[in-house]
Each structure stands twice: as structure tokens, then as C-alpha cells.
């Protein structure tokens, strides 16, 4: 059981490589812990815990009341928040679960104040999760098109070409049925060896043509 839990935590750590460190750097670089009004789209979980540790006071929203958000609402309909009323929006691994992402982006842009900051991330090469509410995968170019009316402050890949393969391999310990996870556990020496080999390949032959996801910081125009 301990080894199984360790493999699960490993898969989680690999899939979110760099993400939490980049969120922390964004909070520091743009003084987001000093912001008067911060909206965290998605309640509970590790992101909420991280923001709390970083001293970022925020209002959480979620479509699921069981996650105990401050406000039960959809990202596609933020009518609880007036135009240009929010300094900072965090949207971490949410857009892939939204049926109408363009509408969600329009709502984020509406509620942000001029010069307001959006800190976000979205997966690219990652398994289907939280099905059936997993609809989209965005490339770098897709994100630029989606947020065409906002200034790109930062947009970076979470990892590289072969490293993304390593993540997919280790994710086998965390997804699927109980029987599938048990089979992955039995095959863990082979899976871990393959994951290690692909990570080495990524160091020798780095490339950004594939990644498990993107992290971005965007700014709403001043006017």
C-alpha cells in the first residue's frame, strides 16, 4: 500500500512539474498577495492550499457545491461579479473542462480590471480525466488565439517532448480502474525504467514540440 501511494504521488508530481513553483514566482513578481480582489476559479485542492500558503486572499468559485466554494458559479457565467471588479484571476487546469471556453475567456476578461492579471494553466498531452467533463486540449497557438485581446506576459511549456512521455507513463499509476492500477503496479519496474529513460532522452534531445501542458500569465489592456 505504501509503494502504491508513493507511485500515485509520483504521478501527481510529474504531471504538475514546475507548475506550483511558477505560480509562486508569479505571486512574488507581480505582488499578487497584495491584490485587493482575487478570484480563484476552482475550489479546494492543492491550488487552493498553495494560494493560502502564499498569502493570497481570494474568493473561490466552483460549479460543484460539494467543493465548498465561496461562490457557486460557472466560469462561463460570472454574473455575481461586476465588470472590471477583479485585480487577479487564477484559472489553473480549468479551461479543458469548460464546454464553451471562448465564453469563459470573455467572462474572465470582463470581470478583470484594466491591467488586471490572469494566471492560468491548461494541459496538452495528458490523459482524459474527470470524464465526461473533459473537452479540450490547447496548443500554445490555440491559447494565443483564445486570449488574443490580452497581453501575453508569460507563456511556457511545463516540460519537453520526451519528458511528456515520462509523465504519461507514470500517470498509469493514478488512472483507470482498480484492476488496471494493480496491473500497472505489477509492471512498475518496467514503467519506471521507461519513464527514466525518456527523461534522460529529454535532457539529451530537448524539444518544445510536445508538452504535458502550458502555464501562462496574461494582462488585460489598460483601456
Q: DSSP for 171-208?
A: GGGTSS-HHHHHHHHHTHHHHHHHHHHHHHHHHHS--S
pLDDT recorded at residue 11: 84
Tell whether omega for the bond before 132 is within 30 degrees of 0, i.e. cis.
yes
**What is the model's pLDDT at position 56?**
97
CA angle 125, 109, 36 (to 5 degrees): 105
CA distance 157 to 88: 22
Question: What is the distance between the alpha carbons of residues 120 and 178, in angstroms, rounded to a whole number?
Answer: 32
Structural domains in the chain? 17-160+208-220 (3.40.50.150)
Q: What does the pLDDT profile of the chain (223 residues) look like in tens digits? A: 677 788 778 888 888 888 999 999 999 999 999 999 999 998 888 899 999 999 999 999 999 999 999 999 999 999 999 999 999 999 999 999 999 999 999 999 999 999 999 999 999 999 998 889 999 999 999 999 999 999 999 999 999 999 999 999 999 998 888 899 889 989 999 999 999 999 999 999 999 999 999 999 999 998 7
Which pTM value belongs to this model? 0.93
Cell 471556453 locates to 101
Report the pLDDT value the prediction gives residue 90, as an integer from 0 to 100: 98
Amino acid at each position: 500500500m505504501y509503494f502504491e501511494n508513493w507511485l500515485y504521488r509520483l504521478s501527481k508530481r510529474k504531471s504538475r512539474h514546475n507548475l506550483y513553483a511558477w505560480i509562486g514566482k508569479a505571486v512574488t513578481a507581480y505582488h499578487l498577495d497584495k491584490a485587493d480582489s482575487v478570484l480563484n476559479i476552482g475550489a479546494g485542492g492543492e491550488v487552493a492550499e498553495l494560494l493560502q500558503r502564499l498569502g493570497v486572499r481570494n474568493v473561490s468559485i466552483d460549479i460543484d457545491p460539494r467543493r465548498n466554494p465561496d461562490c457557486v458559479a460557472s466560469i462561463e457565467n460570472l454574473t455575481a461579479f461586476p465588470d472590471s471588479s477583479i485585480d487577479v484571476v487564477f484559472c489553473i487546469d480549468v479551461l479543458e473542462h469548460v464546454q464553451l471556453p471562448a465564453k469563459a475567456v470573455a467572462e474572465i476578461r470582463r470581470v478583470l480590471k484594466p491591467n488586471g492579471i490572469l494566471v492560468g494553466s491548461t494541459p496538452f498531452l495528458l490523459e482524459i480525466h474527470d470524464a465526461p467533463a473533459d473537452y479540450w486540449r490547447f496548443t500554445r497557438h490555440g491559447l494565443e488565439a483564445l486570449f488574443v485581446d490580452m497581453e501575453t506576459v508569460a507563456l511556457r511549456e511545463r516540460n519537453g517532448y520526451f519528458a511528456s512521455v515520462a509523465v504519461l507513463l507514470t500517470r498509469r499509476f493514478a488512472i483507470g480502474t482498480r484492476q488496471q492500477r494493480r496491473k500497472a503496479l505489477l509492471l512498475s519496474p518496467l514503467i519506471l525504467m521507461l519513464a527514466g529513460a525518456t527523461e534522460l532522452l529529454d535532457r539529451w534531445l530537448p524539444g518544445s514540440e510536445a508538452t504535458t501542458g502550458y502555464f501562462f500569465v496574461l494582462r488585460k489592456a489598460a483601456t
